[in-house]
Structure 1
Amino acid sequence: MTSSINNNAGQPQKSTARPLPPGMVLGPDGKPCKICTSFRNWKPPSSSTKPSTTKSNKGNDTSASAQRPPSPASAGAADENKRPAYCPPDVESLGRATWTFLHTTAAYYPESPTPTQRAHMLQLLHALPQLYPCSHCANDLGTRIQRQPPDVRSRTALAAWLCATHNEVNVMLGKPIFNCSRVDERWKDGPQDGSCD
């Protein structure tokens, strides 16, 4: 491991920090947090230099750009706010995936869980605020869990607690609330018209 030596050690450094773009969130380290910020608000500095490509003996391009799908610009993407599928998740896609996982897990949770199943579910839910990559999302969930602990007595109780908690977050974010009487239709059975069968 190498470190750079500051020749001006001990001297005050000029702040070169620029104002954050609207919607950009700082992580606990004080740096812009990709996983805490929506992709549409994440505007990394553009680079004017392009990486050089190297060719193997067989003529195959072995550069980093050849090992990933084409960029949206090269693929002719019209919507710059659309996140390419090969990119790491942003706060919105991570949130959708996490809520999908939690609601689906609740939909398949037993109606009469054993003490071990209840303990495992509580461990999962209490681990999220400790492990979730988006720090402010994790802190918010931790506060909500402390204020209103998860109800893991049954599948119905867990699904209702999770839906109410999700709706609290939706209200905070200005999103529409979900009709909690429809959790089984949404997360387990699908609509009665069979459109998901």
Structure 2
Amino acid sequence: MSSPSLPTNIVLIRPGASRYESEGRIRGTLDIPLDQTGLEETARLIRELEATELRLDTLYHGPCRPASETAEAVGRALGVPVRQVPGLRNLNYGLWQGMLIEEIRTRQPKIYRQWQELPECVCPPEGETIADAEERLTRELQKILRRHRGDTVGLVVAEPIAAIIKRILTHCPLGDLWKAEAGHGRMECIRVNALEPAPASG
């Protein structure tokens, strides 16, 4: 039973890797299954969750296969209900999807640096902006937090969506989203009372 007076524990879980992550490719919204590395990472996540004092009440995940396969495996192992949320889908990288990150670094060095330093100012060609992703994610997070006050909720979401969610919840910097792409098969816990507007810049 959720309580209006208690914070919600959000366990932010990056799914295991697909072959695209293992190869250094940009997956975005492409539906690629977990590879052997991803399966091993998922098994490790389950062991880590079993060892923690946190008890997940529910798991939400985005619609991509790495997220759904990771969430379903964790849910089965821990006896936790699992629900897919379309609004937690990964960032649409447009024409960058399927490309090697190294290709962008060598062919479009200026755009590469901008995405590294000021990703809010870049829209991947035919893709989605950070601002658009934040808008849909904020709507989903507000619903989840209202529904699960005082609960412990797992969010199985790929990078860079995980980094964007963390910024929405904590107002921390996004950081280098190219490095974030390598962040799979790990988790962290964030305690949240309510979503608060980001502090004004300047």
Q: Same fold (TM over 0.5)?
A: no
Q: Please tell me whether Structure 1 or Structure 2 has the larger radius of gyration of its CA atoms.
A: 1
When the two structures are superposed, what TM-score results if normalisation uses the length of structure 1? 0.29
TM-score (normalised: structure 2): 0.28
